[in-house]
Structure 1
Amino acid sequence: MKLVKSYSARAFVTIIFPVLALSACETVQTTQGGVVGVDRSQRMALSAQQLDQAAAKQYVELIAEEKKKNNVNRDPAQVARVRTISNRLIAQTPAFRPDAKAWQWEVNVLTSAEVNAWCMPGGKIAVYTGLIDKLKVTDDELAAVIGHEISHALREHARERASEKMVAGSVISIGSALLGVGSLGQQGAEYAYMGVIGLPNSREHEREADRIGVELAARAGYDPRAAITLWQKMGQVGGSAPPTFLSTHPSSADRSSDLTAYAQRVMPLYLQTKNR
């Protein structure tokens, strides 16, 4: 009887819960494929509105806090440079998402030694002065990093990751309770999830953002090959990189190879724009 009970519980977890988890998701195509051909379908358990509202709240709070420290847009020339590049990239987003044209885009420069930039869901962009100053980025390289971050927003990677965690957390918690594996077993299941699903998906997101980013740059008239030198500079300031299988980013060699191939693919777009 004990064996039957155990088998029933395991069958319920392995068969019923994945079905329930998947049924709670919707399959979406957040972007058009573009020349780079990013056309992977995505499973979403959260609505875009839910995440956009949370992101907007977080953004307002973050900018307000940084303004108190006088860290927002302190250098007018630097801000003008970042906004000019960003606006040229934003103008190309309808090639992947026609609705992005109506987003409430906002671009700010934050004074921080951190080498970082981001684009929140809905089009809120921030570039840190540490990235500009420490990497001594060219306009083409700055377009590469901003284009990469915009691409994450266009593909709604944050929504996808949040959906994955929400579904996985529910399945792991309920499954662990039914199987009686305890907290240690649940922790092991969470680590297994991250190793098998979580981190590889995150690396896939990075690849997609790289590829869409170089196309946005090329369409905006920036040399897409600058993405290669940008990430080489990033690697130099990043210190010792973790092994690929534990990293949320592709390895330096993999990323360089992929960027080289896709930058070449979009070169005709760049040359066409440059020669107008």
Structure 2
Amino acid sequence: MKSINRYPLRILSLLFVTLFLSGCQALQSIDKGLYNAAESVSETDRVTGQRTLSMADRNAQISQGNAAVEQMLVKEKQQKRKVDAELSRTQYRRLVTIFDRIHGISHLSRERWQPVLIDRDSFNAFTTGGTYIVVHLELMKQLSDDEVAAVIGHEIAHTVANHVGERQTHQQLSMLTSSSSVRRQGYQAAFTHEREREADKIGVLYSALAGYDPYASSRIWSRQYQQQGNARSLFAHDHPVNAERAAETRQLAGKVKQYYMPGKINPRASELLDNNSLWQKRQNQHAETAGQGGGVAAILTTAIGAYAEHQQAKQEEYRQASQAQFVKSVEQAMQLEKQTKLTNNSWQTRWYYRGNIPLKGVVMGLLAQDAKGKNYRYIVHQKGTVKPGQRFDLVFKMSDGNTLDKLEQMKARYYVDDALPAK
């Protein structure tokens, strides 16, 4: 995204200051009104120091977010599900230790947060904008300490960057302005996608500053890519696809590894939160003083920032749609010629590619749904380049307890999970 030229803004602010010093009381009053208007719909970003759209009140966010988690915990108790140390003393102690180090170097270290461990067999963790972070037991079992730290840093980053408040305000103002974009599912997914990228960026820095391997995040998404693929053609993505996320977090880790002291908090952590290799916190040299040109500056910086985010989301929406369309075209050019049973839970497929563009990164998938509506995805990566007119074999395996007999009772279809043009 191109940088924004602030020269016109500075000139305009200077003109207003000159008028105010000349005694133009009317303009001073107008500027104060503009400043108050900007304050009501924006806040100073904790990370970048720039104004961002947000009508959220932090105290209200904490109250609402915590109420949601506490209500969930009441239900856990009613359903006789154990939480925290009662669920697993070892995993809970481990979670608290990792959490304390990440939270302690974060932008919200002065707030009193609490990690919660719940009994779920899914790979997930989340926050609700308050001061809880909820982690599923299965995630703790699957990940190393460095990888858990990456997840915790990412989740805290969502609240640090006020993504919930930004999204709500953006939607409200878009509706008021009758924006057609906000009604599109693809646009909404793209807007969230960019917030996820920002949380990854902040979270990777947190890991390095807290003494956890910053490359851990990339390892998580590399494994997810091998196991789950990217599913580009199945739906609009509100998170970066696994392969892209692995690559981008790897690049971020390379930029912050200089701050990584294994097992130790970097003594310059608080200083590096503002100025590091990923961002330089904007120091407002031209103070936004109400009545002295600050109102105009506040309104313009808020509007420019909101427009830039809007354009960024539109570009991401278009990029995703273009990639999904390409994958769909590849899918139409893939012909299944043969299936051969190998074992009770594996089989070989033969494919014929009728397209005219060489491909790389081809991932084939099978999407199955049982009678209860539960979905299963099985994916296989094709190594190397697939050339026009080429035939290739792929072996699918099920490691989730299903068998081919069970699979025959399900609704199932093959699809192209991902593919890119080979250069």
Q: Work out whether the TM-score is over 0.5.
A: yes
After superposition, what is the alpha-carbon deviation per residue over 1:126-171, rounded to whole angstroms, capped at 9, x for unaligned? 11012223xx211111111111111111111111112223333444
Give the structure 2 partner of residue 66 of structure 1: 76
| 2:63 corresponds to 1:53 | yes
The answer (yes or no) to whether the contact 1:71–1:112 under 8 Å persists in 2 is: no
Partner of 2:126: 118
Partner residue of 1:31 out of 41, 46, 64: 46
Q: CA distance change for structure 1 residues 128 and 191 in 2, over 3 Å: closer, same or farther?
A: same
Equivalent residue in structure 1 for 2:90, among 70, 77, 96: 77
Q: Kindly tell me: are residues 145 and 189 of structure 1, through their superposed partners in 2, closer, same or farther at Cα, counting changes over 3 Å?
A: closer
1:191-270 equivalences in 2 (<5 Å): 191-192=183-184, 194-196=185-187, 198-236=188-226, 238=228, 241-243=231-233, 246-270=236-260
| Alignment partner, residue 410 of structure 2 | none
Q: How far apart are 1:113 and its partner, in Å?
A: 1.2
1:149 aligns with 2:159: no
Alpha-carbon distance, 1:40 to partner: 6.0
- Aligned letter for 2:123? V
- More deviation, 80-89/223-232: 223-232
CA–CA distance in structure 2, aligned partners of residues 87 and 275 of structure 1: 11
Deviations along 1:247-266, one digit per CA (max 9) or x if unpaired, are 10112232222111110111
- Correspondences of 1:5-24 after superposition (within 5 Å): none
Deviation at 1:268, TM superposition (A): 1.0
What letter is aligned with 1:150? Answer: I
Q: In structure 2, give the amino acid aligned to 1:26.
A: V
Provide the secondary structure at the position in 2 that maps to 1:125.
strand
State how far apart, in whole Å, the 2-side matches of 1:218 and 1:79 are: 22
Greater shift after overlay, 68-77 or 214-223? 68-77
Measured against aligned partners, the alpha-carbon deviations of 1:188-228 in whole angstroms (never above 9, x if no partner) come to: 76543x434x2222111111111111111111110000110
The amino acid of 1:80's aligned partner reads R
Q: Shift in Å at residue 123 of structure 1?
A: 2.3
Aligned partner of residue 109 in structure 1, secondary structure: strand
Give the aligned length: 228
Partner of 2:115: 107
Which amino acid is the alignment partner of residue 161 of structure 1?
Answer: R
Structure 2 CA distance for partners of 1:204 and 1:40, relative to 1, 3 Å:
farther
Instruction: For 1:32 and 1:190, locate their aligned partners in 2 and report how far apart those are by CA, in whole Å.
Output: 26
Which amino acid counterpart does residue 98 of structure 2 have in structure 1?
I
- Distance across 2 between alignment mates of 1:40 and 1:210: 19
Classify the secondary structure of the residue corresponding to 2:109. Answer: helix
Partner amino acid for 1:77? T
TM-score (norm 1): 0.73
| Residue segments in structure 2 that go unaligned for 5+ positions in a row | 1-36, 267-423
Residues 1:88 and 2:96 are matched in the alignment: no
User: Do 1:44 and 1:160's aligned partners in 2 also have CA atoms closer than 8 Å?
Assistant: yes
Unaligned runs of 5+ in 1: 1-21, 34-38, 176-187
**1:148 aligned partner, one-letter code:** H
Return closer, same or farther for 1:248/1:275 CA change in 2, 3 Å cut-off.
Answer: closer
User: Greater shift after overlay, 246-255 or 260-269?
Assistant: 246-255
Q: Counterpart of 2:113 in structure 1: which amino acid? A: W
| 8 Å contact kept, 2:99–2:152 | yes
Counterpart residue type for residue 137 of structure 1: L
The C-alpha deviation readout for 1:47-93, integer Å capped at 9, x for no partner, is 33333222121121011111333231211111000110000101111
* C-alpha distance 268-43 of structure 1, shift in aligned 2 (>3 A): same
- Structure 2 counterpart of 1:64, which letter? V
- Bigger radius of gyration: 2
SS state of the match for residue 202, structure 1? Answer: helix
- Amino acid in the other structure paired with 1:90: H
Higher strand proportion, which one? 2
Q: Residues 25, 195 of structure 1: CA spacing in aligned structure 2 closer, same or farther, 3 A cutoff? A: farther
- Give the superposition deviation at 1:273: 6.5
Relative to structure 1, the CA distance from residue 29 to residue 243 in structure 2 (aligned partners, 3 Å threshold; closer, same or farther) is: farther
Q: Relative to structure 1, is the Cα distance of residues 60 and 253 closer, same or farther in structure 2, using a 3 angstrom cutoff?
A: same
The letter for the 2-side match of 1:76 is R
Would the aligned equivalents of 1:113 and 1:128 in 2 still touch at CA under 8 Å?
A: yes
